[in-house]
Every structure is written in structure tokens, then in C-alpha cells.
Amino acid sequence: MIDYNTIERIQSAAQIVDVVSDFLTLRKRGVNYVGLCPFHDDKTPSFYVSPAKNICKCFACGEGGAPLHFVMKLEQLSYVDALKYLAKKYGIEVKETEMTDEEKQAHGDRESMFILNSYAQKVFAANLFENPEGKTVGLSYFRERGFRDDTIKKFQLGYCLEERDAFTQQALLAGYKLAYLEKTGLTIVGENNYKTDRFRGRVMFPVHTLSGKIVAFGGRILKNEKTAKYINSPESEIYHKSNELYGIYFARQAIVKQDRCFLVEGYTDVISMHQAGIENVVASSGTALTQGQIRMIHRLTNNITVLYDGDSAGIKAAIRGIDLLLEAGLNIKIVLLPEGEDPDSFARKQNATDFNEYIKENETDFVRFKANLLIREAGNDPIKKAKMITEIVDTIALIPEEIVRLVYVKECSLISGVDEGTLVRAIAKKRQEILLQKKKTAYPEAAKPETGNFPDESQMPPPLTEQEDYPGFSIGKTSSLNDYESTILRYIIRYGEIDMANIREEEEIENIPKGETPKEPPLYVIEYIVEELKQDDLKFSNPLYQQIMEEAFARYENPDFHAENYFRNHVDPNISKLAVDFSTDKYIVSKIHSRYKQIPKEEKKLFDLVPYVVINYKNALLQKRMDEINASIKEAESKGDFEQVVEKMKELSVYTQKKKIIAPFLRERIITKM
């Protein structure tokens, strides 16, 4: 385990802009930064990063957190592994205490699989440079491909020995469990516990995540056997092929710096281009592009250039997958390499300057490229030409920006000879179909053929209510206990250390007679709330809220305790996310409203707001209990159990007296609607 002081150093060193920038392209907007959210399919930037608060938050899907929890969520790391990741980034030495047997057991399947993959890579790399078979077969192959030793080591390439279960036996002897060897796909277990190395006799290409963890392997056979040339690790708890791009770990910084990503097909294409000095390149590993892969690219850049073999017979089939890139709002260019060349062979003959010059001279906009390709195929055949126009329309309709669509309409009209108006109408119809399909997908049960397949109102998100004068304050006459509890927690996390007795609006301070001091004994928000709830031994109904309160109770007297920092960096990601939600404003006041009305600062009203919420929470609890007692009285009356009725009436009387006691402190809402 990592000691507390080291955790504090890591959390203090980690800067949210610095951490998020490793994964996303951020642009400054006012005092904050904004980028595309990595946690959902985000086409317009909704992911905000606040340097002042050292947190990030998506205002579309709600994900976010402190640097630690951003890394945990994005890279699917445990709390400890995320700390190690940040420690490595900031050069902080991590000293761990010995883990108990129970802690080792709890480390989890995911961590064990990552550890095993790392071990496997080291074994395969050692085979390549130290084992006679590895040198003769594997290393010779890589050198014949023109890869230098430094390139081989950079990409952590290796070789799996030909012997049926050589790696499996070596891993078992090293103490790794067969269950994890099977889960990662490194070992195939057959009948009668017959074990075989999945990648035996193959050169190995490790697949890395954005942060550099090995999630899978690709293996290429070197002999002319009746088997697939390339095989990959199977899907597992840590590997989902549709969410990974080969080379992304080595390319991410270059992609951000150059604001462009080259997309190729295979492992060797990526490696050869890197060796030639072109590092902003990734591979789809021979599969059609997926939404997950596109999101990964889009997080780093809006510009992508796809490289195709000059004599590739599958260009037409391949470009269908690129429609997804257009739909995501990416700017796509196509480059056809000279006939007989692929990115691997072409890069080996070029340096970075010559390669980029060729790209500059030969890249073509994707829509224009597709239109020209289809028109050549259609020739003078009217049926083929009509089909071609339909395909072009389908492609342009995917582009989210209207202005960009209109530009392409003009160009495609010139290329195809079809009237612009005809194309515009066809595209509008297609976009209607696309939007309708999205609605049906989002609300499948609500589709109604007789009403145009639009969702039923009950399936739609609830309309926004009137905005409060104070962002985040949501208590009203119909508030539930959960509303009160969440508001109380919000005050603790956001304003816990504020002395609410000595914060006033400027006009209140100005009204104090000269010579008198406005200073009063300090009354801290967290201290007031904790003492008020302790006094009546109140427990929150929401278990997560109650856990936060218990931890606040236990720590609030510690002068080093800062509620917002503590809970935002909490080991439980649910608590961390909740703390971030409470730390950020739900609404931003529009310029129009701010012209006509001076919006009061919530912080200046804490002396009124905090007691108001606490006393109304107590009142709501009393009312809830009284409602329960009244229901019990009615039930007892229906059964003729008059003793129970008398008993419950006495209990009701006690709660009625309690309500009378707090009644004078209840008041009408001090917060008015706009």
C-alpha cells in the first residue's frame, strides 16, 4: 500500500490541465479549458477543465473529477495504479508497504492481467535478443523489414518460441496463474488440461493503451503454414479491439503537436513511418473503423489523413467505414500511395520531409475523392450514375455542419452534373431519416408509427424548471429528503471552511454604524451543519450521502481537513464524482438576465441559507415520521386495534410538539424565482 504522505504529494503535484492534456486537445476558454469529452460521443466540446479548482467535468454526460479519478476512469485503473501513473508522470518516488494475503487477493483480475501482459512482453523481447531461435527467426525478420534495434525496443517487439507450451510453462514456473494466462489469451487450454501457447512461432506486437499499458498482442506467423498470417489476443476484461488503436501511445503527443493523425492499416506501417520520422500515425489493425477508435482520435485532433495502397483493390469497400469519421465531424483527407507501395514500404524509402511533401501534393478531400471514384465507376450507365449520386448524398448527409455540407453540395454538383437544388433536397430528406433513426434508437419503446415514430413524452427527459437565483440551490415546497440531503452536502463540500457569520453582502456591511465592528465569533459551515445533525442524531437516507457525512463528522475538527479537496480525491470514485458535481455550478447566468438583475452571490448568503436548509430538513424528517404514524393509526383503526391507536397517538403528539418548537424558525423561502 502507498503511505498517506506520498498520496498527498501526488495529489498536490497533479495539475488537471497537465494531466488531461496528455489525452485530449484542450483550448482555453476564459479562465478554463474545454475539449471533447472522452467518456461519451462528443461532437461539440462539452468537457471543461478548471485549473483554479483542479477538476474537470463534462456538462453533457456528467463525468469528471480530480486528476486522479480522471485517470482512473479513462484508463480503467485501480486507485493505487492511478496514483502510480501520476507519481511516474511527476517523478515522485512511491514506497509501498508489504501487502497482506487478503490485499493481494483483492488486487483484482484486471491488475493481474496487466501484470501478466507486461511479463509476457519482457519474455518475448528477451527471446528476440537472447534466444538462438528468437535471433534466427524473429530478429532476422524484423531486420529484413528494415527495423533498427532502437525501433524494435521502442515498440517492445518480441518473439514467441515455436515449442508448443514454452511460454506457458515459463510463466507458470514464475508464479503466474493458469486462469490469467487463459483470460489474457496467451494460453489456450483444451481438453484434459492440454495447454498451448496461442502465439507460438510468431513475432509479437504488443498493443498499448493511451497511457502505455499493454492490453493485448498481435502475432505474425513466419512459416508458410495453413493458418492465419496474423492473430490477435481475444476480447477480455482489459481488451476490447474496437476501442484500441495500434501505436496510439507512441503517437499521441505528435498528433496533438501537429494537429493531424495519419491512419494506416497494419503494425509494420506504423513502425516504418515512426522510423522515418512520421510519429503521428496509428493503425486500425486491419479492421473497419469503430466508434470507439474514432472517439480516441477525435480527442486528440479534428484532422485525419487516411493512407491507402496505390493498387489496393479494396479501396471502395474500405472507404465505407470512413463515413463514421464524417459523422463525427472530423476533417478527412485521402492519400493514394504510388502503385505497388504500402505505407510500410513507402516510408522505408522516404525521410520525414519527403514523406510530408508527398502527402501535401497528393492528399484529396474525402468527399471529393469518393465522388470522383464513384463517377469513374459509373461511366455513362444511368442506373450506376443514380446509385452513385445516392451514395454521395448519403455521405454528405452525415456531415454535422450545415455550411460544410453546402460547400460539398456545390462541388459535387460540378463533378456529377446534378443540379444543386436536387442534391440539397435529397440530403435534407436523408438527414431527416438519420435523425429519426437516432430518436428511435434512443427511445425504442416509445416509437409510434402513427405519429411519425417520435418518442412518447413520458420517455423524453423532463423539461428544465425555472432557474434559481443561486446556482445549485434547488430546495422548494415539494422537495424530497434527498433534495435536502444533497443540498446540505453541497454546502459542506463547496463552502465547508467558510466562516458564514462574517460574510455579508457589501450593502449589509455598509449599513453597520461607524465605529462598530462587524466581526462576530467564527461560525464555519461544516461545523454548524455537523453539530446540528449530531444534536438530533440524524442519519441521511441516501447511503452514499451518509458515508460522506460520517467521514465529515470524523474529520471536521482537524485543522488540516479541507472537505472539497478530501472528497474530490476520495478513493471511492462515486464519492469523488459527487464531490465534483457539488463543486461545479449547474447553471451559468446568461448575459441577458444579468443585464436586468443583479444576481446575488450564494456565498454571501450562507448565514441565511445554511440554517434555512438544515431547519427545513429537520422539519421534513418530522413530517415524514408523522405521515408514517398517521398511516399506522389508520391501519390500526381498520383492524379495531384501539390500544395500538392510543399508543400511536401518544407518539404522534411527541412529534407534533417537536414541530411546534421548530415552527418559529421556519420561514418563507428567502430565494425568489427570476
**pLDDT tens for each residue of 605-641:** 887 788 888 888 888 888 888 888 888 888 888 887 7
**Domain identity same for 609 and 486:** yes
- Grid coordinates in use for 508? 449589509
Element (H, E) at 590: none
Query: In the chain, how many domains are there?
Result: 3
Same domain, yes or no, for 507 and 653?
Answer: yes
State residue 610 phi and psi, 5-degree precision.
-65, -50
CA-CA distance, 377 to 412, in Å (whole number)?
15
Tell me, yes or no, whether 44 and 115 share the same domain.
no
Claim to verify: residue 180 and residue 38 sit in the same structural domain: no
- Predicted local distance difference test score (pLDDT) of residue 221: 92
In-domain check, residue 38? yes
Type of residue at 320: R
Clarify whether residues 649 and 548 are in a common domain: yes
CATH number, position 50: 3.90.580.10
SS3 of residue 328 by DSSP: coil
Question: What would the pLDDT profile of 83-113 be if each residue is shown by its tens digit?
Answer: 888 988 888 888 766 655 655 554 578 888 9
* Residue 150 confidence (pLDDT) above 90: yes
Give residues with Cβ within 8 angstroms of 105, minimum separation 6.
none
Q: Residues 210-234: what's their mean pLDDT?
A: 87
Considering the domain architecture, whether residues 656 and 593 belong to the same structural domain is answered as: yes
Alpha-carbon distance values, 165 to 113, 184, 222 (Å): 19, 15, 18
Q: Are strands 303-308 and 261-264 parallel, antiparallel or unpaired?
A: parallel
Give the global pTM. Answer: 0.61
pLDDT value of position 311: 56
Residues in the chain: 674
Integer Cα distance of 21 and 573 in angstroms: 21
Does 484 share its domain with 584? yes
Alpha carbon separation from 260 to 24, 251, 252, 298, 350 (Å, rounded)? 13, 10, 10, 10, 19
Residue 76, Ramachandran bin (φ over 0: left; ψ between -120 and 50: alpha; else beta): left
Q: Are residues 513 and 471 both part of a single domain?
A: yes
**Residue 581 within any structural domain of the chain:** yes
Examine the domain organization and report whether 10 and 151 are in the same domain.
Answer: no
Q: What is the pLDDT of residue 475?
A: 52
| Domain residue limits at 47 | 4-89
Last residue of a domain, one of 239, 273, 294: 239
The model's pLDDT over 484-510, given as tens digits with 9 standing for 90+, comes to 888 888 888 888 888 877 765 444 444
At 540-560, the pLDDT tens digits run 888 888 888 888 888 877 777
Residue type, 42: D
Q: How far is CA 429 from the centre of its chain?
A: 33
Rounded alpha-carbon distances, angstroms, from residue 625 to 481, 631, 653, 655, 658? 12, 10, 12, 8, 12
